[in-house]
């Protein structure tokens, strides 16, 4: 078929890109504060330090720009470009095919496309597509990927066909976690792992890693982040790809991740609007339905997307899902002949009604892949593309399958049919113009129009992709996310001694190398003795505790992987549940220490009631078993991080990002929760039962008492333990007393398990002012494991030391003493403490409630223990006011 298109000057486009890059509307919009559609209140966690975001929706209609010698009206330039385009070229700018695999003419094999051959170059040049999407089959190695994108762009701008030379949007699904494409890049632990950290800064850093690597490779669009709120435990396709079942947590992490990617001039797409989290059907293989009202959607699913739109997201990706309460129009499925509701991807009520009109979003709307069964099985290819454009879509993603030159006839047919729809008035020319305008705006905004082959080098790409910096951050994030769900008898962290043997059991071969890497890292870092031995063993459907008995009997410690993919795997007779259950029971009967490590969706943590210790790591990706301590290729970081945390080789702070239902007879309960969202244990639980008590005031040169009151020292039920109090020798001296050891600036007290009698110590003040004499307190158990809340927990626990003979309590002090106090605080970099007014413990408690991000732990029902827990959770010593004594 002969195609005639008008051509454009690439130099003209490059000049336009330069103009737009310096435009006031091309600058970033800082301090964007997403708002919940339901409450109208700020999503506070988004206010953490994050990169600024670009707001395409705030783009003025036109701006006069100074590009050196002449002023350029950017919007007028875009209008001129559009006016010069044929209808057909506008249509092809709105298409984004894939070339995942290709069969060259005369070849019998279909191979992964890793280089731009002549046929691909001709297709890209001849059709003037708006963009292409890459998959793992395309991006295996760093230099190979850079060459691929460079050659694709060269084909697009080369203009051999004399029908247009606009550079491409080159897109990819680099979400992190279980969905990553770059073979040599940094995989990252994934969104649900980030949800477990509850840390917007770590989310931003994860986004920076993604953006840095994609930009270096010439990929300018990332179809991420996933902003689906995964509130359905049986969701087969989102799961670990979601940050949380809480929409505010999704937004508070999704926006920083988005902005981290954008910081490297890579465009992003929030997906899958209006939300794919509350489905039990995978749209790749079926057509899901969400029967919710607009009010229900606004309260949950829509909230993160609205926050992203307000925060400057470049694109919104649609969901192939029916929402019958929103889009009531129906269509007769070509597969079944039955009536179905028009899915969101093809719905004008959803895309134009909600996205454009209600939310006022003027960025790009892109479809999810049109080849997914939800669309391809129910609609014709041309039909679906036309309906999508009519609904308000700007880019039709993967409108057909292209695997050889003959398949290009299918693209021709789709273009012809869309062009006919325009001619017949079913699609207006203005609709095409609006979409192409948005596409060109984005290309200018992200520097795509200013494409320069020399701008990227293999050397720079090799330095950026999979760098040591990226891998170190990946390891930190993965470890931070690890969530300790159960730790009866405080058996974690594991403490090994010479001669111990660790057995690591995995359900699939891909899990074993990650388990092995974790152990090798621990030995290399000196966390576990070099003479400790370990082995990795796979269990399968034929395994049992009897068949594994030889390995189990040799082990002193066991790490047991649980990987549950769907609810049916939770049945007691399914091998993925049966084998771990048998191993736990056998290990308990033999007195061996065993921890269950959940590596997929964390709902299985409620499936092992007999296990004393359970952790969740939120990622099941494997790795090449031949990799070194610092792998060269992308790998799943979650499993090795879980192993390292089990031995306290890396710090963790994870809390559950979703509710965990009770499991009854192998089924997930729909109304009872085993572990609530936000639940997670630290390794310092025993130290939370230690309360330090100081007097309000003391005098220089005289002793004053320090009391350690002991409450619930969780897990310290047998043997002996030590309490160690480290004091600041610059401020106080320790006073030796009977039964107390004094080692340098450390009091050491030996205790028998069960002895919770208070400990009386004495210090002597050396300097006046408001001083914090305690550095930190440690509990050391019989295994030599150290539990401590760290120095931050004691920085605010102060004594007012005076030089006169009277002890000052809460009465005003004279100016000289006040000035002396202020100077002392200034010298020690501490906040000034005034004795003229006292903040009540209740007021301080309220302050802590507004600042803490720690998970809510179970209430013990005892007010004394609650104060211990609060002290440990917040690290603020103001609660000591509850226990302060008058001197």
- Rounded mean pLDDT of 525-542? 96
- Rounded mean pLDDT of 25-54? 33
Give all domains of the chain, ordered by start, each with its CATH number: 89-426 (3.20.20.300), 482-675 (3.40.50.1700), 686-882 (2.60.40.10)
Tens digit of each residue's pLDDT (9 = 90 or more) over 280-301: 777 787 888 999 999 999 999 9
Active site residue: 284, 426, 501, 574, which one? 284
User: Does position 83 have pLDDT exceeding 60, yes or no?
Assistant: yes
368 has catalytic annotation: yes
According to DSSP H, which parts of 525-629 are helical?
A: 549-554, 575-589
User: Does position 57 have pLDDT exceeding 50, yes or no?
Assistant: no
Residue 162: predicted pLDDT? 67
User: Does position 886 have pLDDT exceeding 80, yes or no?
Assistant: no
Q: How does residue 715 score in pLDDT terms, banded at 50, 70 and 90?
A: confident
User: Does position 864 have pLDDT exceeding 80, yes or no?
Assistant: no
Residue 447: predicted pLDDT? 92
User: Does position 64 have pLDDT exceeding 80, yes or no?
Assistant: no
Residue 813: predicted pLDDT? 34
284 has catalytic annotation: yes
Burial 704-718 (b: 16+ CB within 10 A, else e): bebebbbbbbbbbee
- Rounded mean pLDDT of 88-111? 96
Tens digit of each residue's pLDDT (9 = 90 or more) over 371-397: 999 899 999 999 999 999 999 999 999
Parallel/antiparallel/unpaired status of strands 720-727 and 703-710: unpaired
**What is the spatial distance between Cα 879 and Cα 796, in angstroms, rounded to a whole number?**
10
Q: How does residue 73 score in pLDDT terms, banded at 50, 70 and 90?
A: low
User: Does position 54 have pLDDT exceeding 60, yes or no?
Assistant: no
User: Does position 105 have pLDDT exceeding 50, yes or no?
Assistant: yes
Tens digit of each residue's pLDDT (9 = 90 or more) over 400-447: 999 999 999 999 999 999 999 999 999 999 999 999 999 999 999 999
* 699 contacts 803 by C-beta, under 8 angstroms: yes
Active site residue: 173, 228, 314, 368, which one? 368
Tens digit of each residue's pLDDT (9 = 90 or more) over 309-320: 999 999 999 999
pTM equals 0.80
**What is the spatial distance between Cα 367 and Cα 390, in angstroms, rounded to a whole number?**
13
User: Does position 587 have pLDDT exceeding 60, yes or no?
Assistant: yes
Of 714, 720, 706, the residue nearest 775 (C-alpha): 706
Residue 734: predicted pLDDT? 98
Q: How does residue 819 score in pLDDT terms, banded at 50, 70 and 90?
A: very low
Residue 792: predicted pLDDT? 87
Tens digit of each residue's pLDDT (9 = 90 or more) over 118-131: 999 999 999 999 99
**Separation of first and last alpha carbons in the chain:** 97
Q: How does residue 29 score in pLDDT terms, banded at 50, 70 and 90?
A: very low
User: Does position 521 have pLDDT exceeding 80, yes or no?
Assistant: yes
Contacts of 64 (CB under 8 A, 6+ apart): 71, 72, 73
Q: How does residue 72 score in pLDDT terms, banded at 50, 70 and 90?
A: low
Residue 39: predicted pLDDT? 32
- Mean pLDDT, all residues of the chain: 84
Percentage of the chain with pLDDT > 90? 72
> Of the ranges 47-56, 551-560, 660-669, 840-849, which is most confident?
551-560
Q: How does residue 161 score in pLDDT terms, banded at 50, 70 and 90?
A: low
Residue 790: predicted pLDDT? 87
**What is the spatial distance between Cα 300 and Cα 77, in angstroms, rounded to a whole number?**
41
Q: What is the DSSP letter of 618?
A: -
Contacts of 687 (CB under 8 A, 6+ apart): 777, 778, 779, 787, 788, 789, 872
Question: Could you tell me which residues are beta bridge partners of residue 536?
Answer: 504
Range scoring the smallest mean pLDDT among 66-80, 199-213, 741-755, 859-873: 859-873
User: Does position 139 have pLDDT exceeding 50, yes or no?
Assistant: yes
Supply the DSSP string of 318-360, one letter for each residue. Answer: E---B-TTT---EEE-TTT-SEEEPBGGG-HIIIIIIIIIIT-
């Amino acid at each position: 078929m002969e195609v005639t298109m008008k051509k454009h000057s690439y130099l003209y486009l490059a000049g336009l890109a330069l103009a737009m890059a310096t435009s006031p509307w091309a600058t970033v919009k800082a301090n964007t504060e997403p708002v919940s559609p339901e409450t109208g209140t700020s999503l506070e966690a988004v206010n953490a330090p994050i990169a600024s975001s670009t707001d395409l929706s705030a783009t003025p209609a036109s701006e006069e720009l100074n590009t050196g010698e002449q002023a350029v009206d950017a919007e007028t330039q875009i209008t001129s470009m559009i006016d010069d385009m044929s209808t057909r070229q506008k249509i092809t700018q709105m298409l984004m095919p894939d070339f995942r695999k290709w069969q060259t003419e005369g070849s019998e094999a279909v191979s992964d496309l890793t280089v731009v051959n002549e046929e691909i170059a001709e297709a890209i040049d001849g059709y003037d597509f708006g963009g292409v999407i890459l998959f793992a089959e395309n991006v295996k190695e760093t230099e190979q990927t850079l060459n691929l994108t460079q050659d694709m762009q060269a084909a697009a701008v080369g203009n051999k066909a004399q029908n247009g030379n606009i550079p491409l949007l080159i897109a990819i699904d680099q979400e992190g976690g279980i969905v990553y494409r770059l073979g040599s890049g940094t995989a990252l632990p994934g969104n649900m792992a980030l949800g477990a950290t509850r840390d917007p800064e770590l989310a931003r850093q994860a986004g920076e890693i993604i953006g840095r690597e994609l930009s270096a490779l010439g990929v300018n669009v990332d179809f991420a982040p996933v902003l689906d709120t995964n509130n359905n435990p049986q969701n087969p396709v989102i799961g670990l790809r979601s940050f949380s079942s809480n929409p505010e947590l999704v937004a508070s992490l999704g926006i920083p991740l988005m902005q981290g990617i954008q910081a490297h001039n890579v465009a992003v797409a929030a997906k899958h609007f209006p939300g794919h989290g509350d489905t039990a059907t995978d749209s790749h293989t079926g057509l899901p339905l969400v029967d919710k009202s607009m009010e229900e959607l606004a309260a949950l699913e829509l909230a993160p997307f609205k926050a992203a739109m307000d925060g400057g997201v470049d694109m919104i990706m649609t969901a192939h899902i029916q929402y019958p309460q929103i889009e009531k129009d129906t269509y007769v499925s070509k597969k079944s002949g039955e009536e179905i509701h028009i899915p969101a991807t093809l719905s004008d009520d959803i895309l134009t009604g909600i996205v454009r009109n209600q939310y006022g979003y003027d960025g790009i709307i892109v479809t999810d892949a049109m080849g997914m069964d939800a669309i391809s099985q129910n609609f014709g290819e041309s039909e679906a593309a036309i309906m999508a454009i009519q609904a308000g879509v700007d880019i039709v993603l993967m409108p057909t399958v292209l695997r050889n030159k003959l398949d290009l006839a299918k693209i021709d047919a789709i273009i012809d049919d869309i062009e006919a729809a325009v001619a017949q008035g079913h699609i207006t020319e203005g609709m095409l113009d609006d979409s192409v305008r948005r596409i060109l705006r984005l290309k200018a905004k992200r520097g795509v129009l200013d494409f320069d082959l020399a701008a990227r080098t293999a050397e720079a790409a090799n330095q950026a992709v999979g760098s040591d910096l990226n891998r170190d951050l990946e390891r930190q994030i993965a470890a931070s996310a690890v969530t300790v769900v159960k730790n009866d008898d405080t058996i974690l962290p594991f403490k090994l001694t010479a001669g111990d043997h660790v057995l690591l059991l995995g359900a699939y071969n891909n899990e074993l190398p990650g388990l092995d890497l974790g152990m090798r890292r621990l030995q290399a870092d000196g966390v576990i003795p070099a003479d400790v031995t370990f082995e990795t063993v796979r269990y399968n459907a034929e395994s049992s505790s009897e068949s594994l008995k030889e390995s189990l009997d040799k082990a002193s410690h066991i790490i047991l992987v649980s990987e549950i993919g769907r609810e049916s795997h939770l049945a007691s007779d399914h091998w993925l549940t049966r084998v771990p259950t048998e191993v736990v029971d056998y290990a308990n009967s033999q007195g061996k220490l065993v921890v269950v490590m959940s590596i997929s969706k964390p709902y299985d943590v409620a499936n092992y009631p007999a296990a004393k210790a359970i952790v969740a790591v939120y990622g099941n990706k494997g790795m090449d078993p031949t990799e070194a301590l610092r792998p060269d290729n992308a790998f799943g970081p979650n499993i090795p991080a879980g192993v390292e945390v089990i031995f306290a080789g890396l710090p963790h702070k994870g809390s559950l990002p979703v509710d965990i239902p009770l499991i009854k007879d192998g089924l997930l309960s729909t109304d009872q929760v085993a572990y609530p969202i936000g639940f997670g244990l630290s390794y310092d639980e025993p130290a939370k039962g230690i309360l330090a008590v100081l007097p309000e005031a003391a005098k220089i040169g005289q002793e004053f008492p320090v009391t350690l009151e002991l409450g619930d020292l969780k897990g310290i039920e047998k043997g002996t333990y030590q309490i160690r109090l480290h004091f600041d020798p610059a401020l106080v001296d320790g006073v030796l007393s009977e039964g107390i050891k004094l080692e340098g600036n450390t009091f050491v007290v030996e205790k028998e398990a069960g002895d919770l009698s208070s400990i009386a110590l004495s210090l002597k003040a050396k300097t006046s002012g408001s001083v914090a004499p305690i550095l930190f307190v440690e509990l050391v158990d019989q295994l030599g494991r150290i539990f401590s809340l760290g120095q931050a927990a004691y920085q605010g626990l102060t004594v007012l030391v005076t030089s006169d003979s009277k002890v000052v309590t809460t009465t005003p002090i004279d100016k000289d003493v006040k000035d002396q106090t202020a100077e002392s605080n200034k010298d020690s970099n501490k906040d000034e403490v005034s004795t003229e007014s006292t903040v009540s413990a209740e007021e301080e408690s309220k302050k802590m409630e507004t600042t803490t991000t720690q998970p809510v732990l179970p209430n013990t029902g005892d007010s004394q223990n609650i104060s211990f827990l609060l002290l440990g959770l917040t690290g603020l010593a103001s609660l000591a006011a509850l226990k302060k004594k008058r001197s």
